[in-house]
Structure 1
Amino acid sequence: MNNILSWISENQQIIYIVVLMIFVGIEVIGRVPSVLHTPLMSGANAIHGVVIIGAIIVMGGAAKDNYLALILGFLAVILGTLNVVGGFVVTDRMLEMFKKKK
């Protein structure tokens, strides 16, 4: 327990920044009109593509006996891939809404 409390006190400024980033992100995303959702979704897909590449690089650099890093890297690759594919599916569906009906 003392290790956790000392880590929190050492990284207190970083924790404050992350919490503020969360609140700013929620405010910014909450005020986006639905017309801009598709371009923002495409940008989010590109960011998650970078996350996938980063996870692959981390997994490649991890030691063979570091199972925690390998498991977390593998989960990051799987979840990032699901997020990218899901984002493209949502983007495609939204673009279908703007096409004229036959």
Structure 2
Amino acid sequence: MTAIYLLFILMLSIFVGFELIRKVPATLHTPLMSGANAISGITLIGALSLAGGESGQLATYLGALAAFLATINVVGGYLVTDRMLAMFKKK
């Protein structure tokens, strides 16, 4: 029964997130991405604590996968943010 609730929360968060991101104007995209990078950093810390804990083998594997994906998200987000900010620098 809880799996149905968790699936419902996941689907709702995907829908709300998509709708919010789609309506963001271009001038606010860089600050929004910086905030998302900070949230991904928090996710990375949580994933590392799950991967390093003694919660079982499945939790360790899922934590390692989450740490890997969160790292890709953080690094990619900072690279894109840096590239966008470089467009506004005077040459």
Question: TM-score, structure 2 length as denominator?
Answer: 0.84
Q: Counterpart amino acid of 1:69?
A: A
Q: Deviations over 1:38-64 (max 9, x none)?
A: 11111111111111111111123225x
Question: TM-score, structure 1 length as denominator?
Answer: 0.76
Q: Counterpart amino acid of 1:53?
A: I
Percent identity, please: 58
Partner residue of 1:68?
A: 58
1:28-39 to structure 2, matched below 5 A, reads 28-39=20-31
RMSD over aligned CA atoms reads 1.7
Tell me by how many angstroms 1:83 deviates: 1.1
Partner residue of 1:7?
A: none
Bigger Rg, structure 1 or 2? 1
Tell me by how many angstroms 1:13 deviates: 4.0
| Structure 1: 5+ residue stretches without partners | 1-9
Q: 1:56 to 1:17 in 2, by over 3 A?
A: closer
Q: 1:74 to 1:17 in 2, by over 3 A?
A: closer
Partner residue of 2:14?
A: 22
CA distance in 1, matches of 2:84, 2:9: 34
Q: Counterpart amino acid of 1:73?
A: G
Q: Counterpart amino acid of 2:71?
A: T
CA distance in 1, matches of 2:23, 2:36: 17
How many residues were matched structurally?
Answer: 90
Partner residue of 1:4?
A: none
| Structure 2: 5+ residue stretches without partners | none
CA distance in 2, matches of 1:38, 1:99: 14
